[in-house]
Amino acid sequence: MLRVAVLISGTGSNLRALLEATSDPAYPARVVVVGADRDAPGLAHAEDFGLPSFTVPFTSYASRAEWGDALAEQLAVFEPDLVVLSGLMRLLPPAVVARFAPRIINTHPAFLPEFPGAHGVRDALAAGVDATGASVIVVDDGIDSGPILAQERVPVLPGDDEHALHERIKPVERRLLIDVVRRYATGELPAEASTLS
Ligand code: GAR
């Protein structure tokens, strides 16, 4: 069984979908811990599934590097084979990325390299595109710039606002994430990831 640690900042709806997928005995991965950079509402999903969780508040540390070191120490306690950033809205310092890469992945609500950053859905709407998407990538030191493991287009519909479009993207993100984690568990990744960079 692949041991997965998930990091969140928000509601954790994609985390919940992954937790539900791992309830299938045939699914080859298990979430072993959920961590957050703040008092995130999504931590409640860990409790629902009887899993440990931790918070390493970004605002409690003097620098991003010190926060990252504390976060990595907490993660290491649970010996994860894979770290999933599922709505973690903080850039990880390079030392943390180096410690886990290429076994650290991120979901993003856009068809990367289009619309990276914290406002992928808003930026797609502002650009007036007729399609955006969802992506799962390997984390590197840039902003949503790592190798793409899976992605799919999602149409922008007339009348879409940020919430409506994001809610249509998230089910696609969840499907891609669950499949990518399965591919890590079966050994198909990360070998493939290095050829995609
Ligand atoms: C997801 O759409 C995720 O891709 C996005 O935050 C949302 C979290 O939703 N992450 C980013 O934009 C990172 N750049 P959730 O908390 O309901 O799972």
55 pocket-lining for ligand 1 (C-beta < 6 Å): no
pLDDT digits (tens, 9 = 90+) for 19-49: 999 999 999 999 999 999 999 999 999 999 9
Write the residue with the smallest CA distance to atom 7 of ligand 1. 87
**What are the contacts of 162-166 at 24+ separation with CB within 8 A?**
162/121, 162/122, 162/125, 165/121, 165/124, 165/125, 165/132, 166/109, 166/121
pLDDT of residue 178: 98
Q: Indicate the pLDDT class of residue 193, thresholds 50, 70 and 90.
A: low
Choice from 91, 105, 108 to test ligand 1 binding pocket (greatest atom count within 8 A of CB):
108
Which one, of 10, 7, 18, 12, lies nearest residue 71 by Cα? 7
Average pLDDT, the chain: 96
Write the residue with the smallest CA distance to atom 1 of ligand 1. 87
pLDDT of residue 109: 98
* Atom of ligand 1 at shortest range from CA of 170: 2
Rounded-to-integer distance, Cα 13 and Cα 56, Å: 20
Residue 164, Cβ density class (10 Å: 0-12 exposed, 13-18 middle, ≥19 buried): middle
Number of Cβ within a 10 Å radius of residue 157: 10
Write the residue with the smallest CA distance to atom 8 of ligand 1. 87
pLDDT of residue 190: 87
User: Residue 148 C-alpha to ligand 1 middle, in angstroms?
Assistant: 16
User: Residue 16 C-alpha to ligand 1 middle, in angstroms?
Assistant: 12
Amino acid identity at 12: G
146 pocket-lining for ligand 1 (C-beta < 6 Å): no
pLDDT of residue 100: 95
User: Residue 27 C-alpha to ligand 1 middle, in angstroms?
Assistant: 23
User: Residue 166 C-alpha to ligand 1 middle, in angstroms?
Assistant: 9
157 pocket-lining for ligand 1 (C-beta < 6 Å): no
